[in-house]
Amino acid sequence: MGILDSIPHVQAVPSHRPWPRAVVTEAGWQAAIDRLVEGGLTLLGFWGEPAAVHMAMLDGGSAEIAVVTYECTSGTFPSVASRHPPALRLERTIHDLFGLVPTAADDLRPDLRPWLDHDAWGQSYPLAGRNASRDVRPYQFLPAEGEALHQVAVGPVHAGIIEPGHFRFTANGEHVVRLEQWLGYTHKGIEQLMQGADLATAAKLANRTSGDSAVAYAFAFARAAEAALDIQVPRRANYLRALMAELERLANHFGDIGAICNDASFALMHAQTGILRERCLRTADTAFGHRLMMDVIVPGGVAREVSPDGITALRTLLADIGEVFPRLIELYDNTASLQDRTVTTGIVKADYARQFGAGGYVGRASGRDFDARRTLAYAPYDHLSFEVPVLDTGDVNARVWIRIREVEQSVALIAQILDLMEPGEIRIAPPAGRGGCEGLALTEAFRGDVLVWLRLDGELRVERCHLRDASWFQWPLLETAIEGNIIADFPLCNKSFNCSYSGVDL
């Protein structure tokens, strides 16, 4: 049974690919929320337009996805967040950008506090396409009351080389009673800049949504465009894309493993993984002409061939990792002072990981067996063999181990791709004049699944594009993971999540 079979809808949208999209009335919208609340479906994305809201949902069992659309004829829509908490920040964002108002019964009053809007843009509801003003009130953090409690405010400018965000801790002595995050500091208005942009410009913007996931975003954006246009890219292009995606995953996992250990005052690991990370970036530069491989993946394929030196460099890299990394794993496993900090620290409950549909190492360290590369089996992963590691302790240690196991899988994947890749075309031109069309794609970035939803007009210009980082559903879990831990362990917990700021703020 398909997702839409159990959700009453009035009209399916034929130009939406590869999964269905349907317009629903209030009854259908509430039925969709019911399915999310009871856990039958997972919320994948929730985004707005000037007069409509969309929800993408996943049936994990059948690996099926559907999008439901509610048309906000009176500027309001039934609140999703008041019944399903994972939707909260997305709902506040929709209100900030479009001015659409979520409604609910009085006892479930929607949270209308701004999320991205810090009252600095000089305009309200910038994507609404109409002038409107909003009431400006000082931002209210959620209260925590008690005689012994005190607050610690951190950010947006932090002590390290790190993206800006604000953390408000309420502590009882050293123990964190509540953490509330307030982000939005890196909001650049990417989705508005994309409106009216041609595919090449929009792809560049997608590349710069979150610099550490440049490849994953370019990959997801390209696949969404290709789904909308209903085109297949050449086989070799798919292999090259996966090569870059795995190289990016390796570089980031090395960086993270070292940085987590560094936050537990174990700098040796940081120094060693820093070397491996740098080797990955230099290999990327040799093979694809850019250390972060920006602007190589484009709609229709890839923009450049891998250099002949690049293939050699990749094989050398795999050999280097094979020699050094097992020793580093052993070092991690045998250092009691390190384990003392990571084991049982910052636990994400399995129920929360499932409810929030947490992707990447955050979800997989808490028992959520989902990886877009396998569950949705997009090319070329549909005929590559790899394993998806899953653990269930949900602590910092588990998130380190998931990364360690994924490094091993990525090394094996790169080796397979190098063996399987045959000469051939690497790019096809997008067809012109196809008329309006819509595409949706999910790609597995190093920190979890990236969703891109795209509507193109007849001239291949972007009418509306929504990019959803895995971090949307991971940041809130960090708030739960730190509860009961000491403030000094926050950097460690935070690093083990390594959520994106730019990817969420857009």
Residues belonging to the binding site are 191, 467
Residue span 69-108 as binding mask against other proteins, x where in contact by CB under 8 A, dash where not: ----------------------------------------
462 binds other proteins (CB under 8 A): no
Contact 129, 464 (CB under 8 A): no
Residue 351, number of CB atoms within 10 A of its CB: 11
Q: Which is nearer to other proteins, 82 or 474 (CB)?
A: 474
Phi, psi of 470 (to 5 degrees): -60, -30
Q: Which of 34, 180, 278, 457 binds other proteins (CB under 8 A)?
A: 278
Q: Which is nearer to other proteins, 187 or 341 (CB)?
A: 187
274 binds other proteins (CB under 8 A): yes
CB of 304 to other proteins, least distance (A): 16
| DSSP letters for 380-422 | TGGGS-------SS-SHHHHHHHHHHHHHHHHHHHHHHHHH--
Task: Give yes or no for a contact between 500 and 449, defined as CB atoms under 8 angstroms apart.
Answer: no
Q: Is 331 in the site for other proteins (CB under 8 A)?
A: yes
Q: Which of 188, 265, 340, 431 binds other proteins (CB under 8 A)?
A: 188
| Residue in 314, 315, 289, 313 with CA at minimum distance from that of residue 303 | 289
Q: If binding is defined by CB under 8 A, does position 319 make contact with other proteins?
A: no
> Rounded to an integer, what distance in angstroms lies between the CA atom of residue 92 and that of residue 79?
10
Spatial distance between the Cα atoms of 49 and 154, rounded to a whole number of angstroms: 34
Residue 414 · residue 253 · CB < 8 Å: no
If one asks whether residue 294 binds other proteins (CB under 8 A), the answer comes out as yes
**β-strand partners of 441:** 452
From 26-34, 83-91, 187-195, 363-371, span contacting other proteins (CB under 8 A): 187-195
First to last CA, the chain: 36
Q: Is 289 in the site for other proteins (CB under 8 A)?
A: no
Contact range with other proteins by CB under 8 A, out of 133-141, 448-456, 486-494, 497-505? 497-505
Q: Which residue has the tokens 């190492």?
A: 361
Residue with tokens 């460690």: 492
Cα torsion angle, 119, 121, 127, 129, sign? positive
Residue 42 or 273: the one with the smaller Cβ distance to other proteins is 273
Spatial contact of 388 and 395, defined as CB atoms under 8 Å apart: no
3-state SS, residue 250: helix
Binding of other proteins at residue 138 (CB under 8 A)?
Answer: no
Residue 120 lies near other proteins (rule: CB under 8 A): yes
Nearest alpha carbon to residue 88 among 66, 110, 68, 108: 110
Out of 27, 39, 105, 121, name the contact with other proteins by CB under 8 A. Answer: 121
User: Which one of the spans 76-84, 323-331, 475-483, 488-496 is the region binding other proteins (CB under 8 A)?
Assistant: 323-331
Q: How far apart are CA 470 and CA 498, in angstroms?
A: 11
**Which one of residues 87, 98, 179, 212 is an interface residue with other proteins (CB under 8 A)?**
212
152 binds other proteins (CB under 8 A): no
Query: For residue 83, which amino acid is it?
Result: R
Shortest reach from residue 322's CB to other proteins, in Å = 13
Interface with other proteins (CB under 8 A), residue from 209, 286, 345, 485: 209
Look up residue 202 and give its two tokens.
């929009």
Question: From the list 18, 75, 85, 189, which residue makes contact with other proteins (rule: CB under 8 A)?
Answer: 189
- 164 near other proteins, rule: CB under 8 A: yes
Positions at the binding site for Mg(2+): 191, 467
How far apart are alpha carbons 152 and 488 in whole angstroms?
A: 12
User: Phi and psi for 223 in degrees, rounded to 5?
Assistant: -65, -35
The pattern of x and - marking residues 32 through 71 that bind other proteins according to CB under 8 A reads ----------------------------------------
Q: How far is the CB of 52 from other proteins (least distance, A)?
A: 21
Q: Which two tokens stand for residue 458?
A: 């007849």
Binding interface with other proteins (CB under 8 A): 116, 118, 120-123, 126, 156-157, 159-164, 184-190, 192-193, 204-205, 208-212, 214, 255, 271-272, 274-275, 277-278, 281, 285, 291-292, 294, 324, 327-328, 330-331, 334, 500-502, 505
